[in-house]
Structure 1
Amino acid sequence: MTTSITAPALLPADPAYAAAVAPFVTTVTPRPDMVVEARSPADVVAAVRWAGEEGRAVTVQATGHQLVTDLAGSVLISTRHLDDVRVDPATRTAVVGGGAQWKQVIAAAVPHGLAPVGGSSSGVGAAGFCLGGGHGPLSRALGTGADNVRRIRIVTADGIERDVDATREPDLFDALCGGKAGFGVVTEIEVALHPITRLYGGGIFFPGEASPQVLHTWREWIATLPEDASTSVALLRLPPDPSLPPPLQGAFVAHLRFAHLGTAEEGAALLAPMRAVATPIADMVDEMPFAAIDAVHADPTEPMPVWDDSATLATLPAEAVDALLTVAGPGVETPLIIAELRQLGGAIARRPDRAHDAVAGRDAGFSLYALAPMFPPVAAIAPAATKAVVDAMRPWTVGGLPNFQGLGSRGRLGPLWDDATAAFLTRVREEYDPAGMFRTVGLMA
């Protein structure tokens, strides 16, 4: 007897279908054969069991930040309604539903004087972030999102809901903490929280014409930073958006981001060499409550069609900066919205005490990310523009980060891990999903 799906199951003809499958990145329109809107872990169990009995492929989506295929031929299990968050101040942990976003975790943690290790945007799904390793403004000080996971609840291809951690099914736990996708449907994660209530951070916008000085100074300045400081720099071609401050509307700028857990005085002293590079258009770095951490990167908050690509770099010599400026700097005609470098290292580079470490990019010094809009008429040249950035930096490339893989890489996760780790992840996937139910899962976010 076939298991019955207990949650709303929508077909393409259903009026609610489009809203149920809507992603954050709208370049690709999801077209699964069916979407199951799980309201509880039991709904996920029923959907996975039904799919197994029917021989159907399963895909998973929470926020849709990394949609790289149209999901055709699959049953999509949407976890966006599994968004409960429970904070335990005594253990400094949060139990987070598989569809919850970081902003929900932050809202629950801040009243207790606690903070999670999340991403540069609080609109990203917490579970997907941690499954892919997870690099954010606090990661140089406190490790990746995966390093801060204590327990994961997952429904595997056999329809069994499992609680896994360092002692219960540790291989599956290790694979989930960085292996990103293809192991099942995560319904809940438990993450560590930290006694952080504020930081000294924000962004400084320099004129785009000053980007050569900004980038070359930045590459030397970062060597002076302690682990409790993190930074990135982005070449931004901003739209004429009236929601932006007038000096930034339609401007080409170099956006320096900074987040420091020390005092404001210490942070200002560290930042002084960068503030002296050029006269900024806007300097928004200041003491801020942790709840305002989104202001550090000021990432977009509205869904839009984009094309993106990424890599990790071993080093950033002066030649690499010049190569980036050649394809994205002043005077370059390009549809790019962003070409970004983030400093890695610090606690990110330290491997946890686990039998298997599935977090990619530990040994990289920097991450590289490029994004262009897919609006006409530039949509035709957007893929080439992002590829040009990645190609220009190829002499220093050592891999990539799962959470930054976009349409430019089409979700090719395998090359991101060394041979031993890739073999470990394959073994665990085959053990828990021998029939390949999640073969079309792509990227979860």
Structure 2
Amino acid sequence: MTSTHHPHPTPDLFALSDVKGPVLRPGDDGYADEVTGFNLSALHTPDVVIGATGADDIVAAMRWATATSTPVAVQATGHGANFPITHGLLITTTRMTDVQIDPATRTATAAAGAKWRHVVDAAAPHGLAPLTGTSTDAGVVGYTLGGGLPVLGRTYGYAADLVHSFQVVTPDGALREVNRSTEPELFWALRGGKGNVGIVTQLTFDLLPLARILGGGIYCPGEHTEPLLRAWADWTRTVPNEMCSAFSLLRLPPIPQIPEPLRGGFWARVAIAWTGDTAEGERLLAPIRETAPVAVDMVEEMDHAAVDRIYMEPQDPLPARESCALLRDLTPDAIRTFLDQVGPDNPDCPLLLVEIRHMGGALSDPPTVEDAICARDAEYFLETVAVLAAPPAAEAVEQATTALQTAMAPYGTGRTMVNIHGTPGDEADRARAWTPEVYAHLQQAKSTYDPDNLLRYGHAVTPA
């Protein structure tokens, strides 16, 4: 079925007549809005997009895809949309935002399209909190499938560590209830293996009895980067697991969305989240505050519901280029290499954010139930984010990103985290998110549940 209006050949859509949500093709009203996610660098052009309203719609869509051998992708918020989806079927879950809180068991059940903000707001009246990442605008499911690196990770571990069960549609069209007992292989693959074995329609996970935290950022002028970074690296070797922190370099554009006096400046920041006694947290933080002149100090006791104030991530969609690497340690040589690449002597560095997160603590603990997360041996996590503009600027971003990652490779574990890996390359590049043993295990799981590789978009594993 082709026309100038619908340029890609698509099998008959009559089998999708039972879908309650919209079924759209290129050129249809609402198509562009339906396929657009938070990361505008990946412009999706699927042959068909289905706006799922519930698990039944996802089952119908998957059965149609299997019957027609149509590749499938899924999108909730599009924060991780680093890979453009061309042709095939895109299932969007933005209409599926239901969150149920059980205060007695301290658990939450979140539907496929729920954001962390939905969970935070539902849990807060009960004095409970989920393990969110640096932005509560991100989707619960995609974040958790990649393991989920929380703001409070050193204290409580990975978000995937708290999952009790999933409801998932596998490529055979079956709706499965998955936990450690009923479907142990699926339960393993869904915690850290991303969306390689099915489409999650909901998940249930533990909440934490956590109403208040000490958190925020300490901003120093960028020319003080070196002493602040060296002091922070030494400090991270002494702090308890209740202290979660990151060192960031921020080259902020002069745009109204960024508050004064940070707007348009180059800043070195230490962001912290502390779950212990507030006075003790302030005492621990004193050496950082004394290391360099502090221009802005946003650290304060806050409701956990205000967790977005710690990292102050962008709230509006933008075209972004991400990358990451897991580091074994921050040696003096590693710090010098880092500064040579992105420090104050590089005024034309095009990277908006370069961040080193302190790992260890509960993030290094072995999981209670085996999973596919392969970051437990890292002491630090290196991340870059840049905004992609016109081609010359995009080329500069790519060069700077590659140069930093190449220079820091000798200090790394050789692996990435799947959620922040960036645009997935060839199979060898995608495999860097896991150890060779875990990658081989994921390939076997893929062969079992998705032998035709219908779920081939994004950070996909190839069947064994």
Asked whether the two chains share a fold, i.e. TM above 0.5, the reply is yes
Residue 165 of structure 1 is matched in structure 2 by 179
Tell me which amino acid in the other structure corresponds to 2:395. Answer: A
Paired residue for 1:175, among 167, 172, 189?
Answer: 189
Q: Which amino acid aligns with 1:86?
A: Q
1:381 aligns with 2:387: no
Code of the aligned partner of 2:457: T
Letter in 2 for 1:423: A
CA deviation vs aligned residue, 1:355-375 (integer Å, no higher than 9, x gap)? x32112110111111122211
SS of the aligned residue for 1:381 comes to helix
Q: Which residue of 2 aligns with 1:267?
A: 281
User: 1:420 aligns to what?
Assistant: 437
| Equivalent AA in structure 1 for residue 293 of structure 2 | T
Find 2:423's aligned residue among 379, 382, 407.
407
Q: Which residue of 1 aligns with 2:4?
A: none
Query: In 2, are the aligned partners of 1:308 and 1:370 still within 8 Å (CA)?
Result: yes
Q: In the aligned structure 2, how far is the partner of 1:307 from the partner of 1:318?
A: 28
Identity of aligned residues (%): 39
Distance 2:455 2:159 in 1: 23
Q: Does the 8 A contact of 2:154 with 2:362 survive in 1?
A: yes
Contact 2:134 2:313 in 1 (8 A): yes
Q: How much does 1:418 deviate?
A: 1.6
Give the structure 2 partner of residue 60 of structure 1.
Answer: 74
Residue 311 of structure 2 aligns to a residue in which SS? coil
TM-score (norm 1): 0.97
Deviation of the 1:409 alpha carbon: 5.3
Cα 1:209/1:443, change in 2 over 3 Å? farther
Equivalent of residue 324 in structure 2, options 290, 310, 332: 310
Q: 358, 367, 374: which one pairs with 1:343?
A: 358
Secondary structure of residue in 2 paired with 1:15: coil
Say which SS state the counterpart of residue 124 (structure 1) adopts: coil
Assess, with a 3 A threshold, how the Cα gap between structure 1 residues 3 and 394 changes in structure 2: closer, same or farther: same
Unmatched tracts of structure 1, length 5 or more: none
Displacement of 1:104: 0.4
Q: In the alignment, is the contact (CA less than 8 A) between 2:179 and 2:187 conserved in 1?
A: yes
How far apart, CA to CA, are the structure 1 residues paired with 2:448 and 2:18? Answer: 25
- Could you tell me which amino acid in structure 1 is paired with residue 356 of structure 2? L
SS of residue in 1 equivalent to 2:385 = strand
Q: What residue in structure 2 maps to residue 352 of structure 1? A: 367
Taking structure 1 as reference, are residues 224 and 12 closer, same or farther at Cα in structure 2, changes over 3 Å only?
Answer: same
8 A Cα contact 2:421 2:433, kept in partner:
no
The aligned counterpart of 1:217 is 231
8 Å CA contact retained: 2:82, 2:321: no
- Residue 372 (1) aligns with residue 386 (2): yes
Which residue of the other structure, out of 409, 412, 421, is the alignment partner of 1:397?
A: 412
Q: Report the counterpart of residue 107 of structure 2 in structure 1.
A: 93
Amino acid at match of 2:312: A
In the TM superposition, what is the alpha-carbon distance from 1:79 to its structure 2 partner? 1.3
In 2, the alpha carbon distance for the partners of 1:443 and 1:282 equals: 42
Contact 2:83 2:458 in 1 (8 A): no
What's the counterpart of residue 169 of structure 2?
155
Q: Alpha-carbon deviations, 1:314-339, whole Å to 9, x = none?
A: 11101111111111111202111111
Higher mean alpha-carbon deviation, 240-249 vs 114-123, is at 240-249
Distance 2:55 2:128 in 1: 27
**Residue 416 (structure 1) shift:** 2.0
8 Å Cα contact 2:327/2:382 also seen in 1: yes
Task: Give CA-to-partner distance per residue, 1:61-109, whole Å, 9 cap, x none.
Answer: 1111122322112100111211100000000000001111100000000
Do the aligned residues in 2 keep the contact of 1:308 with 1:406 (CA within 8 Å)? yes
In 1, Cα distance between equivalents of 2:302 and 2:186: 38
Give per-residue Cα distances to partners, 1:25-63, cap 9 Å, x unaligned: 111211111110000100000000111111111111111
Contact 1:327–1:389, Cα closer than 8 Å, also in 2: yes
Partners of 2:264 and 2:72 in 1: CA distance: 42
Structure 1 partner of 2:6: none
Read off the aligned partner of 1:73 and give its amino acid letter. H
Specify the alignment match of 2:219 in structure 1.
205
Counterpart of 1:192, as a letter, is: D
Residue 131 of structure 2: aligned partner: 117
TM-score (structure 2 length as normaliser): 0.93
Which segment drifts farther, 33-42 or 67-76? 67-76
Distance 1:340 1:225, change over 3 A: same
Q: Could you say what the CA RMSD is over the residues aligned between the two structures, in angstroms?
A: 1.6
**Alignment of 1:141 onto 2:155:** yes
**2:83–2:424 contact (8 Å) kept in structure 1:** no
The residue aligned with 2:449 is 432
Structure-2 residue corresponding to 1:48: 62
Over 3 Å counting, the alpha-carbon distance change for 1:234 and 1:338 in structure 2 is same
The answer as to whether partners of 2:111 and 2:203 remain within 8 angstroms in 1 is: yes
Distance apart, 1:2 and its partner CA: 4.5
Cα distance in 1, alignment partners of residues 93 and 142 from structure 2: 11
Count of aligned residue pairs for this structure pair = 443
Q: 1:135-164: CA deviations, max 9, x gaps?
A: 111111111011011110100001111110
Aligned to 1:39, the other structure's residue is in SS state coil
